C-alpha cells in the first residue's frame, strides 16, 4: 500500500497527539516521584492516617480547672446549648494529672514531669520532642495566642496572679504556655535560654492582642485567613475560668463568654473552611479532694472535650479518651505517623469522623522519622 504525502502527515499528527495524551494522563495520575510515602493506588483526596482525615487549620482552646458535671445550661449556656449539640462530644474524657502545667505539656508532648505537676513554670523546661517541633519538621505552621500577653516568648520564671484580675504573661503564662518549656522550641539551636529565646519562639508564641483589645491580633488574623495550621488559644486568667472576675463573677460563665465571642469568628474565617477543627477542653478538673481517681492514662479528672468541625459527625461519644488521644488525633490529622509519649499507647480517635471527612482535602505523605 502506498501512502501520499497528505496521509503521511495525518499519521504523524495522530501519533504526536496520542503521545501527548498518554503523557498528560501519566502526569495526572502520578505528579510526584513514586516513592512519595503513599501507596500508588490511593488518590490524595481519600487518604487518611488511622482513619483520621487531613486537617487544615486547627484551634485548640483550653479552659481551667473545671469538673465535667459542674457545667450546666445555666453556668455555661453557649458550651452546653450551642457547642454540645453540634460537636463530637466526649462523655468519658480524662485529663492527664494535676496540676495545670503538666496537663498543658501532656497535650503537646505526651508526657509530663514532677516539676510540671507542681507548676514550677520555666524551671521545668525539657529537652523532649513535642508537637510544635513535629509541625516544624512537616513544614506546617503553629502559633500560640496569649490573651492579655505582654511579651513574645516570655520565660519569666513565674510569680502569681490574683483570682480577680487577668494574669500577666509573666504569671500564668509560664505554666500554661507549653511552647516555652521545650528546649528545641524556646532556645537557639535547641539550647534553652532565659535571656536569649529563639527567633521561632519570638515569632510564634505571641500576645493575641494589646491593651485596647486583648484578642485583636488573633481576630484580625482570622478575618484575613492568614493564620497558622495549628493554633493554641489561651485565654487570660479570668476568661479561662481560673478565677471569678468582675463583671461576670462566675468562672464557668467567663470561659463560656470567651467561647461565645471567639468561636463564631473562627468558624467565619476563610481559613476554617471544610477542613477546619476547633477543640475545646479543660486542663484538669477542680481537684476537689486531692488527686482524681486514676482512670487508665488519666488522673486529672473527668473534664469536657468537644470537637467542632465539618469533618465530624455531631453526637455524644462514650469512648474513653485522654489528653493523649487529642495529641494522637492532631498528629494523625497533620500527617505525622510517629506518636509522642503516651499518645503512642492510646487508641486513635476513629469513630467521630463523617464519611465526607475521610475524603476531605488533599493529603501530604506521612513524615518518616
User: Does pLDDT of 358 surpass 70?
Assistant: no
Pick the closest to residue 133 from 174, 184, 181 (CA basis): 184
The tens digit of pLDDT for each residue in 208-247 reads 998 889 999 999 999 999 999 999 999 988 899 988 888 9
Instruction: Give the E-state strand segments of 26-113 in sequence order.
Output: 58-63, 88-90, 93-94
What are the angstrom distances between the C-alpha of 199 and each of 155, 184, 196, 349? Answer: 14, 12, 9, 34
pLDDT above 90: residue 280: yes
Mean pLDDT of the 176-197 span: 92
pTM here is: 0.82
Confidence of residue 9 (pLDDT cuts 50, 70, 90): very low
Among 13-22, 31-40, 97-106, the range with the most confident prediction by mean pLDDT is 97-106
Q: Where is mean pLDDT largest: 18-22, 98-102, 245-249, 264-268?
A: 264-268
β pairing state of 58-63 and 277-282 = parallel
The answer to whether the CB of 142 falls within 8 A of the CB of 135 is yes
- CA–CA–CA angle 155, 161, 166 (5° rounding): 95
- Tell whether domain 53-359 is in CATH 1.10.760.10: no
- Burial string for 297-317 (b: 16+ CB within 10 Å, else e) reads bbbbbbbbbbbbbbbbebeeb
SS3 146: strand
Give strand pairing partners of 94: 302, 322
What are the residue ranges of helices labelled H in the chain? Answer: 5-29, 77-78, 100-109, 114-117, 131-137, 183-186, 199-204, 216-224, 251-268, 323-333
Closest by CA position to 300, among listed 47, 107, 75:
107
Cell, residue 338: 510517629
Q: How far apart are CA 22 and CA 164, in angstroms?
A: 70
- Does the structure show a pLDDT above 70 at 17? no
pLDDT at 349: 97
Classify residue 289 by burial, with Cβ atoms within 10 Å: 0-12, 13-18, 19+: exposed
Quick one: average pLDDT of 327-348?
97
Average pLDDT estimate for 55-80: 97
- Would you say residue 10 has pLDDT above 90? no
Mean pLDDT of 318-345: 97
Q: Where are the domains positioned within the chain?
A: 53-359
pLDDT (average), residues 280-300: 85
Burial of 365 per CB tally in 10 Å (0-12, 13-18, 19+): middle
Name the DSSP letter for residue 206.
Answer: E
- Helices 100-109 and 323-333, interaxial angle, to 10°? 30
> Which triple of cell numbers denotes residue 130?
513535642
Name the most confidently modeled range: 75-79, 146-150, 196-200.
75-79
- Considering only residues 242 and 68, tell me which one the structure prediction assigns the higher pLDDT: 68
Cβ neighbours, 10 Å, residue 40: 9
The overall average pLDDT reported for the chain is 83
**Distance between CA atoms of 180 and 122, rounded to whole angstroms?**
7
Helix 216-224 / helix 251-268 crossing angle, nearest 10 deg: 30
Per residue in 139-174, pLDDT (tens digit) is 999 999 999 777 888 776 444 444 445 544 334 455
Distance CA 236, CA 289 (A): 26
Amino acid at each position: 500500500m502506498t501512502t501520499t504525502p497528505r496521509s503521511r502527515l495525518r499519521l504523524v499528527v495522530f501519533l504526536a497527539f496520542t503521545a501527548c495524551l498518554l503523557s498528560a494522563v501519566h502526569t495526572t495520575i502520578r505528579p510526584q516521584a513514586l516513592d512519595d510515602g503513599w501507596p500508588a493506588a490511593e488518590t490524595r483526596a481519600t487518604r487518611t492516617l488511622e482513619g483520621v482525615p487531613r486537617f487544615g487549620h486547627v484551634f485548640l482552646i483550653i479552659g481551667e480547672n473545671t469538673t465535667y458535671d459542674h457545667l450546666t445550661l445555666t453556668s455555661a449556656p453557649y458550651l452546653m446549648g450551642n457547642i454540645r449539640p453540634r460537636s463530637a462530644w466526649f462523655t468519658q474524657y480524662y485529663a492527664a494529672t494535676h496540676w495545670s502545667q503538666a496537663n498543658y505539656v501532656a497535650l503537646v508532648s505526651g508526657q509530663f514531669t514532677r516539676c510540671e505537676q507542681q507548676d514550677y513554670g520555666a524551671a521545668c523546661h525539657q529537652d523532649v520532642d513535642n508537637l510544635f517541633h513535629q509541625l516544624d519538621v512537616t513544614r506546617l505552621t503553629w502559633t500560640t495566642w496569649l490573651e492579655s500577653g505582654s511579651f513574645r516568648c516570655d520565660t519569666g520564671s513565674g510569680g502569681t496572679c490574683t483570682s480577680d484580675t487577668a494574669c500577666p504573661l509573666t504569671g500564668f503564662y509560664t505554666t500554661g504556655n507549653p511552647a516555652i518549656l521545650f528546649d528545641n522550641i524556646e532556645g537557639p539551636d535547641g539550647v534553652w535560654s532565659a535571656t536569649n529565646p529563639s527567633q521561632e519562639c519570638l515569632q510564634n508564641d505571641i500576645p493575641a492582642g494589646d491593651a485596647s483589645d486583648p484578642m485583636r491580633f488573633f481576630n484580625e488574623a482570622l478575618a484575613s485567613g492568614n493564620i497558622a495550621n495549628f493554633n493554641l488559644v489561651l485565654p487570660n486568667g479570668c476568661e479561662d475560668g481560673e478565677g471569678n472576675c468582675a463583671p461576670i463573677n462566675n468562672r464557668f460563665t467567663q470561659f463560656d463568654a470567651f467561647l461565645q465571642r471567639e468561636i463564631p469568628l473562627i468558624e467565619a474565617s476563610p481559613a476554617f473552611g471544610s477542613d477546619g477543627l476547633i477543640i475545646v477542653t479543660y486542663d484538669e478538673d477542680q481537684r476537689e479532694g486531692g488527686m482524681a481517681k486514676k482512670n487508665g492514662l488519666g488522673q486529672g479528672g473527668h473534664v469536657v472535650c468537644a470537637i467542632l468541625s465539618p469533618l465530624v459527625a455531631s453526637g455524644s461519644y462514650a469512648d474513653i479518651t485522654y489528653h493523649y488521644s487529642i495529641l494522637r488525633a492532631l498528629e494523625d490529622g497533620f500527617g505525622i505517623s510517629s506518636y509522642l509519649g503516651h499518645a503512642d499507647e492510646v487508641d486513635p480517635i476513629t469513630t467521630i469522623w463523617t464519611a465526607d471527612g475521610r475524603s476531605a482535602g488533599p493529603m501530604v505523605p506521612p513524615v518518616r522519622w
